[in-house]
Amino acid sequence: MKKVLMSAIILLSAGCSHMMQQKNQTLHYQCGTTPLTVTLNAKTSTASFLMDGEQLQLKQVAAASGTRYSDGKYVFWSKGQSAWVERHDRVIMSDCTVIQ
């Protein structure tokens, strides 16, 4: 009986963690004097945010360190509580820090 109960608990826990990974996560950054709100979608591996009057949706790409999203023109790169945005390989927003 203990094995069955333990197996059920493990399966339920795995299901819950899978469901948690499927949710969107909204992060609020302060980049100098400019606020930036980024929505991360674990299911589609995308980051979306408003930049230059356009709603961007960037796909996650390989990164040596941190997490990186790109659409070929824009890059959103985060590492820990910090982030920055590049356009055509030039940093256009830096010193971005997660705020509560």
Which domains are present in the chain? 23-99 (2.40.128.200)
DSSP 63-80: -SSSEEEE-SSEEEEEET
pTM of whole model > 0.95? no
Give the closest residue to 93 by CA, choosing from 61, 63, 46, 56.
56
Sign of CA dihedral 37, 43, 46, 50: negative
pLDDT along the chain (100 residues), means of 10: 42 44 87 96 96 95 94 96 96 93
pLDDT attached to residue 19: 43
